Chains A and B, each alone.
Chain A
Amino acid sequence: MSISLDTGVRFSLEIDGVATTAPAGATILDVCRAVGVDTPTLCYLETLTPVNVCRVCVVELEGARTLVPACSRVVEDGMKIRTDSERVRASRRMVLEFLASSVDVSLADDMQRQMKRYGAKPERFGAEARTVRQPVKVDNELYVRDYSKCILCYKCVEACGSDAQNTFAIATAGRGFDAHISTEFNVGLPDSACVYCGNCIGVCPTGALMFVSEHEMREAGTWDEARQTKTDTICGYCGVGCTLTVHAQDNEIVKVSSPADHDVTHGHLCIKGRFGWKFVGVKKRRSDG
Chain B
Amino acid sequence: MDLHHLTDEPTAEERAAVDALLGPYLENGVSGREARSQRHLLLPALHAVADRVGWVSRGALGYICRRLTVPPADAFGVVSFYDLLSTEPLPPLTVRICDDVACMAAGCDALIGDVEKRFGPEGASNSGAAWLRSPCLGLCEQAPAALLTSAGVKPRVAALAPAALASIEAALANSAEAALGNSAGIDVDEPCSLPQAGEPQLRLLRRIGRGDPLDLDAYRGAGGYGALSRAFDLGPDGVIREILASKLIGRGGAAFPTGRKWEAVAREPEHPHYVVCNADESEPGTFKDRVLMEEDPFAVIEAMTIAAFAVGSEQGYIYIRGEYGRARERIVAAIAAARAAGLLGADVMKRGLRFDIEVRRGAGAYICGEETALFNSIEGFRGEPRNKPPFPVRKGLFGKPTVVNNVETLVNVLDIVTNGGATYAAIGTPDAAGTKLFCVSGHVAQPGLYEVTFGTTLRALLDRAGGVRGGAALQAVLVGGAAGAFVLPDELDAPLTFAGMREVKAALGSGVVIVFDQSVDLAAIVRRIARFFRHESCGQCVPCRIGTVRQEESLDRLALAHGAGVDDEMRLLHEIGQVMRDASICGLGQTASSAVESALAKLPVFGAGRSA
| Interface contact A90-B575, CB-CB below 8 Å | yes
Of A55, A129, A175, which is within 8 A of B584 by CB? A55
User: Is A101 interfacial (CB 8 A cutoff)?
Assistant: yes
Q: How far is the CA of A69 from the CA of B75 in the complex (A)?
A: 28
- B522-578, CB < 8 A from A: 534-543, 545-550, 553-554, 557, 572, 575-576, 578
| Interface contact B583-A184, CB-CB below 8 Å | no
Tell whether A185 pairs with B76 under 8 Å between CB atoms, given A169-B4, A176-B537: yes
Q: Of A28-36, A120-128, A248-256, A266-274, which binds chain B?
A: A120-128
Which of B81, B540, B590: most chain A Cβ within 10 A?
A: B540
- A168-186, CB < 8 A from B: 168-179, 182-185
Q: How far is the CA of A87 from the CA of B87 in the complex (A)?
A: 42
Residue of A nearest to B87 (CB): A185
| Interface contact A184-B73, CB-CB below 8 Å | yes
- A30-76, CB < 8 A from B: 52-56, 58, 66-67, 69, 72-74
Q: How far is the CA of A173 from the CA of B81 in the complex (A)?
A: 7
Tell whether A95 pairs with B543 under 8 Å between CB atoms, given A67-B583, A171-B76, A193-B4: yes
- B50-97, CB < 8 A from A: 58, 61, 71-77, 80-81, 87
B8 to chain A, nearest CB (A): 9
User: Is B251 interfacial (CB 8 A cutoff)?
Assistant: no
| Interface contact B572-A177, CB-CB below 8 Å | no
Give the chain A neighbours of B61 by CB distance below 8 A.
184-185
Give the chain A neighbours of B4 by CB distance below 8 A.
167, 169, 192-193
A76 to chain B, nearest CB (A): 9
Residue of B nearest to A166 (CB): B1
B538 to chain A, nearest CB (A): 6
Give chain B's interface residue range (CB within 8 Å of chain A).
Answer: 35 or more
Which of B80, B547, B578: most chain A Cβ within 10 A?
A: B80
Give the chain A neighbours of B545 by CB distance below 8 A.
152, 176-177, 179
Q: How far is the CA of A73 from the CA of B382 in the complex (A)?
A: 22
Q: How far is the CA of A66 from the CA of B590 in the complex (A)?
A: 9
Give the chain B neighbours of A99 by CB distance below 8 A.
542, 546
Tell whether A87 pairs with B582 under 8 Å between CB atoms, given A130-B553, A176-B545, A177-B534: yes
Give the chain B neighbours of A211 by CB distance below 8 A.
none
A176 to chain B, nearest CB (A): 4
Give the chain A neighbours of B87 by CB distance below 8 A.
185
User: Is B579 interfacial (CB 8 A cutoff)?
Assistant: yes
Residue of B nearest to A94 (CB): B579
CB 8 Å contact bits of A124-142 with B (1 = contact, 0 = none): 1110111000000000000
Residues of A within 8 A of B (CB): 52-56, 58, 66-67, 69, 72-74, 87, 90-91, 94-95, 98-99, 101-102, 124-126, 128-130, 151-152, 166-179, 182-185, 192-193
18 further A-B pairs in the complex, CB-CB below 8 A; given A98-B547, A125-B550, A169-B71: A52-B541, A54-B541, A58-B582, A67-B583, A91-B543, A91-B583, A99-B546, A125-B554, A129-B550, A152-B539, A168-B3, A169-B73, A172-B77, A172-B382, A179-B539, A182-B76, A184-B58, A193-B73
Please name 24 pairs of A and B residues whose Cβ atoms are closer than 8 Å in the assembled complex, sorted by A: A69-B387, A90-B575, A91-B583, A98-B542, A98-B546, A101-B550, A102-B546, A130-B549, A130-B553, A152-B545, A167-B4, A171-B76, A172-B382, A174-B80, A176-B537, A176-B549, A177-B537, A177-B539, A177-B549, A182-B73, A182-B76, A182-B80, A184-B76, A185-B6
The 9 closest A-B pairs by CB, nearest first: A179-B539, A168-B71, A193-B4, A184-B72, A171-B77, A98-B546, A176-B537, A184-B76, A94-B579
